[in-house]
Amino acid sequence: MTIDMAFSLFGGLGLFIYGMVQMSEGLQKAAGKKLKNLLGMLTTNRFIGLLVGTVVTAIIQSSSATTVMVVGFVNAGLMTLKQSIGVIMGANIGTTITAQLIAFNLSKYALHAVAIGAVFYLFGKSNRSKYYGQVIFGFGVLFLGMTIMKDTMSPLGQSQFFADMVQRFGRYPILGLLVGAVVTMIIQSSSASVGILLSLMSVGAIDFMAAVPILLGCNIGTTITAILSSIGANRTAKQAAAAHLIFNVLGSVIVMALYYIIPDFGNLIHRGIFRISSFFGGVPSAERMLANTHTLFNVVNTLVWIPFVGFLVTLVRKMVPGEQIIIKRGLTYLDERMLETPGFAISQLKKEVLRMYDIAAEMMAETENTFKEYDPELVRAVEDKEEIINELEEELVKFITRFPRHSMSEADIKAVDLYYAMIDDIESIADDAHGIVELVRYKKENDIEFSGEASQTIDNCFSTVFEMMRDTRAIIENFDEKLAEKILAGEAYMDRYQIQNRNAHMERLGQGICDPNAGIIYLEVLDELEHVSDQMADIVHSILDARGRR
């Protein structure tokens, strides 16, 4: 292969991938959040998950995009590991639609699609028309890239060197598997690697026998995207990515083993696919044969493994050990129908506020542990919980605004207003915990060390805050005037303690004892902890006001 051929090949591949990305993005924009909502909602069992994964991937033309979304949902606690496996299986089937489209050989209409798509995209009056223009444009660019790759690879059909290499793939299918896996991992798109394979077949540079093992390798290589997206995610998200890897590897390895166990297994596959393809009309082209093989393999692999989803869950949990504690998102104790009986709704609202408070308290505990010994998983846990707190605040505020105040007693209205005020304070505590974690991350990344005296001061602040948090929870659940006095005294102590240690720190800076960078972090952590005590005092003041005790 000459340098010019290499540039033409990679240029065609670049156009192919760019076209595929444009199609995917246009379709996702046109669908809005509907596809994500579909993934998040319709996964109550493995079969529905399988259907949803297939449909969504067929629409957006990217199993990688689907699996990355799935990993994101699992990481956010919106989907369980078991639910995710069904969706991932469906994504494997849906991604074969790209090969089926390519096999129609619509290259002669590539420039037509580019022109039409560009007109819609550039001159469309609505966003939706622009999105559809992007889809059509991407479709044309994809086939334009295919045409360039086919034309570039055409001389390979007469190359003896390439023919000898293909024969080796035929004799040693494992080589084809490895090539398909490596190429797909590099370009991170099974559709693109299958597109290259179809281009080679269309010019007679590779035959069906050599192409099937490479196709199986593409199925393995495509799992790299989900694996990369799980880096930095929680343990369950990593397990979902591992499930994708195991599912694809097991199916490909089993078929590969049959190549070596059953004599003439490649010809058996060819004859079977030929009969199936012929059934739908005419003599199938080489591209259609491979596209059908791709689809059939993923369908059969899914049908074989879907009854064993439980086994796959067990297997990945052994591979990536440990249980990730996932906090339920959204409201747990409230339902809009409860508003018909406001008294009952208020008692349930109290439970929801306490649940929100408990999540914020967990964040503070994880923050202290991270401060003492930096742990990236705890940092991610705090970040995830802060998102959950924000969502809870939004949903609780919406729920509170729907209370029928005109038919409620003054006491009930005061109770609702009290919980409204608490929600804001609890959300502020979560923000403070997240703020401290960000400071600790900065401290770790910049190798900043605190003096023993500074560390001890922060430890004392955490101890005071935790005692106040325990008392505050108790006063929310069951009002106790003595606890109220104790919390307010704790907040006054934190004010004095912060000023005292701020002044002491300034003296140490003046004496050159402390690192100025460490001092900035130290003072900001003190401010955050003092602010947490302020929020708990605000909760107490709100309770006292509601009870007419001020």
CA of residue 81 relative to chain centroid, distance: 12
Rounded distance, CA 84 to CA 30, Å?
24
Residue 4 corresponds to which amino acid?
D
pLDDT at 513 over 70: no
Percent share of the chain, pLDDT over 90: 19
Task: Report pLDDT digits (tens) over 102-142.
Answer: 777 777 888 999 999 999 988 888 888 888 898 899 888 88
Residue-level pLDDT at 327: 57
Q: What is the mean pLDDT of residues 382-386?
A: 88
* Top-confidence residue, 243 or 325: 243
For residue 464, what pLDDT band results from cuts at 50, 70 and 90? Answer: very high
The CATH label, of 2.60.40.10, 1.20.58.220, 3.30.360.10, 3.40.640.10, for the domain at 336-546 is 1.20.58.220
Q: What is the mean pLDDT of residues 419-441?
A: 93
Cα–Cα nearest to 43, from 86, 76, 75: 86
Least confident of 359-368, 408-417, 469-478: 408-417
SS3 content of the chain, % helix, strand, coil (to 5): 85, 0, 15
Residue-level pLDDT at 518: 75
Reading the block at residue 255, the tokens are 């078929």
Return the axis-axis angle of helices 3-31 and 127-153, rounded to nearest 10°.
160
Rounded distance, CA 97 to CA 62, Å?
9
Q: Are 480 and 474 in contact (CB under 8 A)?
A: yes
Cα–Cα nearest to 70, from 58, 93, 47, 52: 52
pLDDT at 168 over 80: no
Rounded distance, CA 122 to CA 120, Å?
6
For residue 427, what pLDDT band results from cuts at 50, 70 and 90? Answer: very high
Task: List, in order, residues 6 or more apart from 272 with CB less than 8 Å away.
Answer: none
pLDDT at 101 over 70: yes
CA distances (Å), origin 266, targets 103, 178, 202, 271, 443 = 21, 17, 19, 9, 59
Residue-level pLDDT at 115: 94
Q: Give the residue extent of every domain in the chain.
A: 3-319, 336-546
Cα–Cα nearest to 326, from 234, 263, 390, 195: 234
* Top-confidence residue, 190 or 368: 368
pTM over 0.75: no
Least confident of 144-158, 318-332, 338-352: 318-332
Rounded distance, CA 398 to CA 391, Å?
11
Q: Which helix (H) or strand (E) holds 417?
A: helix 410-445
Q: What is the mean pLDDT of residues 175-203?
A: 83
pLDDT at 281 over 70: no
For residue 187, what pLDDT band results from cuts at 50, 70 and 90? Answer: confident
CA distances (Å), origin 233, targets 360, 378, 395, 441 = 21, 11, 25, 16
For residue 145, what pLDDT band results from cuts at 50, 70 and 90? Answer: confident
